[in-house]
Amino acid sequence: MIHAAKTTLNALPGADDISRVELPNGIVILTRSNFNSPSIVITGYVAAGGLFDSDEKAGLADFTALSLMRGTAKRNFQQIYDALESAGASLGWSAGNHTTSFSGRALVEDLPLLLDLLSESVTGPVFPADQVERLRAQLLTGLAIRAQDTGEMAALTFDEMIYAGHPYRRPEDGYPETIAAIQRDDLVAFHKRCFGPRGMVISIVGGIEAQKAVDMVTEALGSWQNPDQPAVPELPPTTPITCLQRRNIPIAGKTQADIIMGALGPTRLAPEYVAASLGNNILGQFGLMGRIGDVVRERSGLAYYAYTSLNAGIGPGSWEVAAGVNPVNIEKTIELVRSEIGRFISEPVSAEELDDSQSNYIGRLPISMESNQGVAASLLNLERYKLGLDYYRQYETMIRRVTPQMVMEAAQAYLHPDRLAVAVAGPVNGDGAEA
């Protein structure tokens, strides 16, 4: 057995080299210096996401996020992108359920430009009518393409099944009818009401001293206020699936079907999350896509691809299997996956399987932080999930503590072959009714 080299702890971010400062207006700034790099990465989020959307205007948060840099009180669309291009820099926005995120990069000397554009776009967008309509057309085109994508439609339907009655059931980019219904005034009102400094987090990594970075952020955003900024809505409870449910999404003209099947999963802070994550790696990620990939694709030849994913965040996540198959193999693939899930929850994984996955996790952590972008994203996770600044220094011990019994118990809490949502999109028979 070849083990990954033991992680050098002081190479990973920790409390001694991460600076965390909270400004009086609520903005949290995380920095880590890397003087071996001439560049800088800035990334973060504001507490304004799709949870604020109504069903009638699903996608409003995302529409707003993508509109922020279409024009500000100081620069028009062309001037914004000319400024970025002249510096070889980048900056962009996107929205999720809980937050609207941003990410940018530049040479260290151009950090003032990035912060100016960040400040302008988050505090002073003007939503020019012509740009809003241009963006709407792009979004509607994207949704039309989505409607013909078997993988996307299976995933969308799967979310509707496991998150029935919950905000997570809505796609973050909305539906054609909701995007068509959103008006410029809706964007203006969403920004005015939901955007504010409370809950904003900014991560800066690169060749700059922490205090200098904090001073620059303070100058750019320290005076921003929104006294009416609302709290993020409380998440309603979810109801686990209690039987096997299936929906077919017929899409004409396709030669491949995509299957998404699974159930609700843990939150990121659930006690069993780490064991579930390692189990997911064994079930459908490690090597040639784990046990699922081996059984469904390699040995049976039923799928073009087959893997599992564990998606965990602030709210309830999902534990799912994805497979792309010839339509004649749909039923065989579903039954084979159910059989493998049954084995996974009834027999502990082997010590060798777990050891391989643990070594894989421990070995890839420092690799994920070889870039400023990787470190910046890692710092955001520390703050988003309140993991503590020394989380990565404790990571190896935490991973090695997991046992085969813990993996099986975590899987038993979420997976059962007779309690799964199954979404199939492609040239399939059926009218979309549950089976």
Same structural domain for residues 172 and 289? no
- Of 186, 221, 256, the residue at which a domain comes to its end is 221
Q: Which of 205, 221, 237 is the last residue of a domain?
A: 221
> One digit per residue, pLDDT tens: the chain, 435 residues?
333 334 455 589 999 999 999 999 999 999 999 999 999 999 999 999 999 999 999 999 999 999 999 999 999 999 999 999 999 999 999 999 999 999 999 999 999 999 999 999 999 999 999 999 999 999 999 999 999 999 999 999 999 999 999 999 999 999 999 999 999 999 999 999 999 999 999 999 999 999 999 999 999 999 999 999 999 999 999 999 999 999 999 999 999 999 999 999 999 999 999 999 999 999 999 988 899 999 999 999 999 999 999 999 999 999 999 999 999 999 999 999 999 999 999 999 999 999 999 999 999 999 999 999 999 999 999 999 999 999 999 999 999 999 999 999 999 999 999 999 999 999 965 433 333
User: So what's the pLDDT on residue 431?
Assistant: 38
Global pTM value: 0.93
Residue 139 belongs to a domain: yes
For residues 37 and 139, state if they share a domain. Answer: yes
Are 213 and 271 in the same domain? no
Say yes or no: 64 and 170 in one domain: yes
Task: Assess whether 283 and 186 both reside in one domain.
Answer: no
Together in a domain, 63 and 151: yes
User: Is 239 a member of any domain?
Assistant: no
- Does any domain span residue 125? yes
**Are 249 and 336 in the same domain?**
yes
Task: Examine the domain organization and report whether 299 and 206 are in the same domain.
Answer: no
List Cα–Cα distances, 263 to 153, 251, 379, 393, 415, in angstroms: 17, 24, 29, 32, 7
pLDDT of residue 10: 59
Q: Is residue 232 part of a domain?
A: no
What integer pLDDT is reported at residue 429 of this predicted model? 58
Residue 355 falls inside a structural domain: yes
- What is the CATH classification number for the domain harbouring 196? 3.30.830.10
Domain membership flag for residue 8: no
Q: Of 153, 186, 221, which closes a domain?
A: 221
Is 6 inside any structural domain?
Answer: no
Give the list of residues 6+ apart from residue 161 with CB closer than 8 angstroms, or none: 241, 245, 247, 421, 423
Query: Do 371 and 269 belong to one domain?
Result: yes
Residues 283 and 212 reside in one and the same domain: no
If asked whether residues 183 and 293 sit together in one domain, one would say: no
Q: Is residue 161 part of a domain?
A: yes
Residues 167 and 274 in one domain: no
Name the residue range of residue 182's domain.
13-221
| Number of domains into which the chain is organized | 2
- The confidence score (pLDDT) of residue 287 equals 83
